[in-house]
Chain A
Amino acid sequence: GNERRKGASRAEEGESQTRPERIDRGRRKRTRSHQDTKGSEGDEEVQPKIQSGRAAKTRKHTKNEKTRKKEEEEKAEKGEGKERHGKRKKTSASKKEREEVGGKHTMKEKAQEVKRKNIIQQMNCIHNSLSSEELEKLKEAVDERKKLIQALRGKPWPIKKKCVILRESQEFVEKYEGALGKGKGRKLYAYKVLMSKALMGRPYGTIPRKTVPRAEATSAMDFAVLWDFGVSCIITLTLTTSCFLQWPFHATFRKMCFQGYAQYSVLFYGYYNNQRAVGWLKFRMPLSYFLVGVGTVAYSYMVVIRTMARNANESGVGDDNSFNFNWRMFTSWDYLIGNPETADNKFASITTSFKEAILEEQESQKDDNIHLTRFLRVLANFLVLCCLAGSGYLIYFVVRRSQKFALDGLENHTWWERNEVNMVMSLLGMFCPMLFDVISALENYHPRVALQWQLGRIFALFLGNLYTFIIALMDEINLKREEENIIKFNITVWEASLFNGTVSVNSTAPPVTIEPADVPRGPCWETMVGQEFVRLIISDTMTTYITLLIGDFLRAVLVRFLNYCWCWDLEAGFPSYSEFDVSGNVLGLIFNQGMIWMGAFYAPCLPALNVLRLHVSMYLQCWAVMCCNVPQERVFKASGSNNFYMAMLLVILFLSTLPAIYTIVTIPPSFDCGPFSGKQRMFDVIQETLESDFPAWFGKVFSYASNPGLVLPFMLLMVLAIYYLQSTSKSYKEANMELKKKLQTVVQNMFPPLVQQSCFNVYF
C-alpha cells in the first residue's frame, strides 16, 4: 500500500516536473536549430564555448545539489533507502563524469534527464526521510531564498552576480518547494511555475510609475496655482451648489438701481431673496447662505493648517545647515538635464551659489564694523517705513477723492478718475517692491535672509493697501446706510401718501396694488462691497497681464531684435531678458487668494470667477516663461521656505476674514436686499432657525452651551493645552539635538578607519 502510494506520488511528481522540463527541452531544441542554421564560422567557434560554459554551469549546479543533499542526508535519522541513495548518486555521478569527458550535446541531454529523474526520486526520499524539523528548516531555507529574490533589486552587487544568484535561488526554490508540497500542492505549484513562464513575468505597469518628487513640486508656482485652484474649486462648488439649489424656485428677484445687467445676477449678494424657505424642498436659503460662508472659511483654515503640519513633518530634520558645501557639491547637479542651454544655466547658477557660499564663509570669519552695518540697517528700515506710510496715505487720499467723484456723478469724469483707486493700488504694487529691493542693498544680509525681509515688506505693503481700501469702503458703507435711512423714511411717506389719496372714500376701497418694481429701492451696501471687490480683482488681473506682456514679452522682443544693431550686448548687459521671479509670483497668488476670501461673502460667485482667471493665468504665464524668461540666477533651496509661504497664507486668511466677520457682527444688513434683509443682525438667522426648526430642548441645550460661564473655562483649557503642547515639543527638539550629537561622537569614537573600510568592502 505504501509502495503503491509512493509510486503514485512519484508518477505525479514526474508529470509535474516533466512539464517544465518539456518547455526547457523545447527551448533547447529551438536554440539547437538556431545554432544549426547559423553556420557561420564565428558561431561555430562560439558554440562549443557556449556548450562548455553550460556544462560548467550544470557541473556547478550538480555539485551544489550534491553537497546540499549530502548535508541533508547526514542529518537524516531514518536510514531508509540510504544505501539506495548512495548507489544511485554514485551511478549518476559516474555517468555525468563520463558525459563531461565526452562533452557531446545529446549525451549531456540524457544526463540532464537522468539527473532530473534522480532529483524527483531524491525529493521523494527527502520528503519521506526527513523529520518534521528538517522539513521546517528546509521550508525556512526556501522562504529565505524567496526573500532574497524579492530583495535582489535593491542589492548593490554587479548585475552579473545578481543574475547568477537569481538563477541559483530560483532553481533552489523551484526544486524544494515542489518537494515540500504534498500532492495537489505540488501540482498547483508546478502549474504556477508554468503559468508564470507562459505569461512571461508580471503584466506591465505593476510597479507604480511616476511620483513627482515633493521638493520640486511644492516650491514651483504651478503647484501653488493648482493648490489654490483646488481650494478655489471647492469653495466654488459649495457656493454654486447653494446658489443653484434655490435658483429655479426663485419667485421674484429684486431689481437693483445700478447700471449693468451683472448686478442683477447671481454674482452679487443683492440677488438673493430673504424668503425663509424656498421651493418645495423648503430650502432654508438665508441659513444656507450664512453657513456656506462660514463653512468655506473654516474649510480654508483647516486646509492651510493641515498643509503646514504636513510640511513641518516632512522637513523633519529641519534647517540642517551642517553639510552646506557637501550638499552643494554632490546634490546640486540635476541629472535630468538634457538641454545644452539648461545645462549652461545650471553651471552658471552652481558657480554663483559656490561663490556666495565662499563669500559667506570668508565673511563669517571676519566681523568688522558692526556699528556701520547696524546703522545702515536701521536707516534702511526707516526708509521702508516711510515708503509704506506714504503709500498708505496715497491710497486713502485717492479713495476720498473717488468718493467725492461718486457724489458728483460718475459720468462727469474721465476713465482714469473713475478707476483711480484700483489703478493706484496696482501701480504701487508694481513699483514699491523694486524700491524695496534697492533699499535692501544697504542692509548687506545673507541672500536668503534678504529675500525673507523683502517678502515681508511686500507683504506689509499689500496688507496696508488692502486695509486702507477696506477703511475707505467702511466709510462708503456708512454713507450708504445713511442714504438707506433717508429712503426708508421716504418710502413710508410715499406709502402714506398713496393710502391718504384713497382713504377719502370709505375704507372699503380695495388696497392699492403696488408694483414691486415701482417701489423705490434702498441702496444695497453689500452688493456695493461685492462690486468693489470684483472690480479690484479684475483690475489686478489686468495689471498682471499687461505687465507680463510689456515687461516680459515686449522686452524680450526688443532685446532680441535690437541686439543686432546696438552698441552693447543687450542680452548680456542691461536690460537683458527678465527673470522668472518665483517668490514674487507666489506672493501674487497668495494676495489674490486673500482678496477672494475677503469678498466671497458678498459676491458669492467670486471664487468661480477666480477659478477661470487662474486657468487663464496659468496658461498665459506658462507661455511667457517658456518664451521670454530666463531662470533666476540665485538658486535657493525653495523647499525649505515652503512653510514660510504657508504661514503667510495663514496670516492673510486670518486678516481677510476679519473684515467680513466684523461686518457680520456689527453692521445691520440692508432693509430690502439680500437674504438677511429685515433682520437686526446677520447672525440672527441662526437664532431663528434654532427657534423654529429644531425641537425645544435643542434650543435649551444650545443656550446652555453658549453661556459665557461655560465658554470661558473652555477657552482657558484650550490655552493651557496649547502651552503644554508647546513645551513638550520644545523638549523633544532639545532631546533630538542631544541624540544627534551623541550619535556623531559615538561614530567617531567607535569606528577606527580600518573597520570602516572593511564595512565598505562588504558592500562591494
Chain B
Amino acid sequence: MRGRGRPWDKLLHYSLCNVTGQQDCTFFTRKEILRLHARYHELAPHLVPMDYTNDPDCKLPLALIVNMPELKENPFCSRIVESFSEDGMGNLSFNEFVDMFSVLSEMAPRELKAIYAFKIYDYNVDNFLCKEDLEKTLNKLTKEELTPEEVQLVCEKAIEEADLDGDHKLSFADFENMITRAPDFLSTFHIRI
C-alpha cells in the first residue's frame, strides 16, 4: 500500500470521478470532501486507504465513528450513525460518512432533514414513532431524571398532539407535519464539521 506522502498526493490518488460524484450527491464542495476524507482517515489510519481508485469496500465500525468530537456528546449518536449505514448496524463507508454530514449540514433542506430525523428517532425501525420510541428518546434527553409517571405523561401528550390518523403512534406524515412548524428544528438539527 502506498505511504502517506505529501498532502497533495491525495489529489492524485483519490479517484477523480469519485469526488465529482460525491459533489453532485451531497452538499459539499470538493475541498470539503477531501477534508472529510482526512477526518475519516484519522479515525482509523490503518484501515482507511488513501487510494480510492480501486473502489475499496472499507467500512468503519460504529464505535470509532461515535468517538468523533462532533458526535460524542450527542445522546442520539449511535442512532444517527445507524440510520446512515447500509446494514443498519452503524458501519459506515466513506460515502455514507459524507452523506451523514451532508444531511446534517446547514445546506440541507428542511424536508430532507425531517426524513432523517424521523429515521433517527425510530428506535425499533418500524417506520412509526410508537410510545416506546418516544420513551427511549425522552430518557436519553433527560438522562432518566424524570419519574416513570412523568415519562408516561409526556409521551401520551406528545402522541395526542401530533397524531392525525388516530393510530396512537406517529407516522412520517404526522412527524413531518409537526416538525416543519417547529421554529428551532433547522438550527438545532445541524452539525458543523
- The answer to whether A760 and B96 have CB atoms under 8 Å apart is no
A window 183-217: CB within 8 A of B: 197, 200-202, 204-207, 210-211, 213, 215-216
B192 within 8 A of A: yes
Q: How large is the interface on A (under 10, 10 to 19, 20 to 34, 35 or more residues)?
A: 35 or more
B window 113-169: CB within 8 A of A: 115-117, 121, 127, 134, 137-138, 141-143, 145-146, 150, 153-154, 157-158, 161-162, 164-167
Given A152-B25, A159-B95, A325-B158, CB of A213 within 8 Å of CB of B187: yes
Given A331-B179, A358-B153, CB of A31 within 8 Å of CB of B138: no
B146 proximity list for chain A (CB < 8 A): 351, 354-355, 358
Chain A contact residues, majority secondary structure: helix
- The answer to whether A752 and B189 have CB atoms under 8 Å apart is no
- The answer to whether A149 and B141 have CB atoms under 8 Å apart is no
Given A159-B25, A323-B178, A338-B72, CB of A760 within 8 Å of CB of B127: yes
A512 within 8 A of B: no
Given A201-B23, A332-B141, CB of A338 within 8 Å of CB of B29: no
- The answer to whether A325 and B161 have CB atoms under 8 Å apart is yes
Interface centre among A50, A159, A347 (most CB of B within 10 A): A159
Q: How far is the CA of A347 from the CA of B146 in the complex (A)?
A: 12
Given A206-B29, A326-B161, A751-B165, CB of A354 within 8 Å of CB of B54: no
- The answer to whether A200 and B145 have CB atoms under 8 Å apart is no
A window 426-468: CB within 8 A of B: none
Given A333-B74, A335-B189, CB of A166 within 8 Å of CB of B154: no
Q: Among B24, B157, B186, point to the contact of A149 (Cβ < 8 A).
A: B24
Closest to A37 in B: B2
Q: How far is the CA of A217 from the CA of B171 in the complex (A)?
A: 33
- The answer to whether B76 and A331 have CB atoms under 8 Å apart is no
- The answer to whether A335 and B127 have CB atoms under 8 Å apart is no
B window 71-106: CB within 8 A of A: 72-76, 86, 95-96, 98-99, 102, 104, 106
A572 proximity list for chain B (CB < 8 A): none
- The answer to whether A330 and B185 have CB atoms under 8 Å apart is yes
- The answer to whether A338 and B69 have CB atoms under 8 Å apart is yes
B31 within 8 A of A: yes
A470 within 8 A of B: no
Given A159-B98, A332-B141, CB of A153 within 8 Å of CB of B26: yes
Closest to A350 in B: B141
Given A31-B53, A335-B188, A761-B127, CB of A211 within 8 Å of CB of B24: no
Total inter-chain residue pairs, C-beta < 8 Å: 216
A371 within 8 A of B: no
B41 within 8 A of A: no
- The answer to whether B182 and A335 have CB atoms under 8 Å apart is no
- The answer to whether B166 and A204 have CB atoms under 8 Å apart is no
Chain B contact residues, majority secondary structure: helix
A357 proximity list for chain B (CB < 8 A): 154
A31 proximity list for chain B (CB < 8 A): 53-54
B67 within 8 A of A: no
- The answer to whether A760 and B173 have CB atoms under 8 Å apart is yes
Closest to B80 in A: A335
- The answer to whether B142 and A201 have CB atoms under 8 Å apart is no
- The answer to whether B172 and A763 have CB atoms under 8 Å apart is yes
A748 proximity list for chain B (CB < 8 A): 164-166
25 contacts between A and B (CB under 8 A): A34-B54, A46-B56, A154-B108, A156-B112, A166-B24, A200-B19, A201-B20, A202-B30, A324-B157, A325-B154, A326-B182, A333-B75, A333-B76, A335-B74, A335-B191, A337-B73, A338-B72, A354-B141, A354-B142, A358-B146, A637-B184, A748-B164, A748-B165, A751-B165, A759-B173
Beyond A335-B188, A763-B172, 20 additional contacts (C-beta under 8 Å) are A154-B111, A159-B25, A201-B23, A204-B30, A204-B31, A206-B29, A315-B183, A317-B181, A320-B181, A334-B187, A347-B141, A347-B142, A351-B142, A351-B146, A354-B146, A358-B154, A361-B153, A639-B183, A753-B167, A756-B172
B interface residue numbers (CB < 8 A to A): 16, 19-31, 51, 53-56, 69-70, 72-76, 86, 95-96, 98-99, 102, 104, 106-109, 111-112, 115-117, 121, 127, 134, 137-138, 141-143, 145-146, 150, 153-154, 157-158, 161-162, 164-167, 171-173, 177-179, 181-192
A interface residue numbers (CB < 8 A to B): 27, 30-31, 34-35, 43, 46, 50, 149, 152-156, 158-160, 162-163, 166-167, 197, 200-202, 204-207, 210-211, 213, 215-216, 315, 317, 320, 322-327, 329-340, 342-343, 347, 350-351, 354-355, 357-358, 361, 637, 639-640, 744, 747-748, 751-753, 756-757, 759-761, 763-764
Q: Which 10 interchain pairs have the tightest Cβ spacing?
A: A213-B187, A343-B73, A159-B99, A760-B172, A162-B25, A325-B158, A351-B142, A156-B115, A331-B184, A204-B31
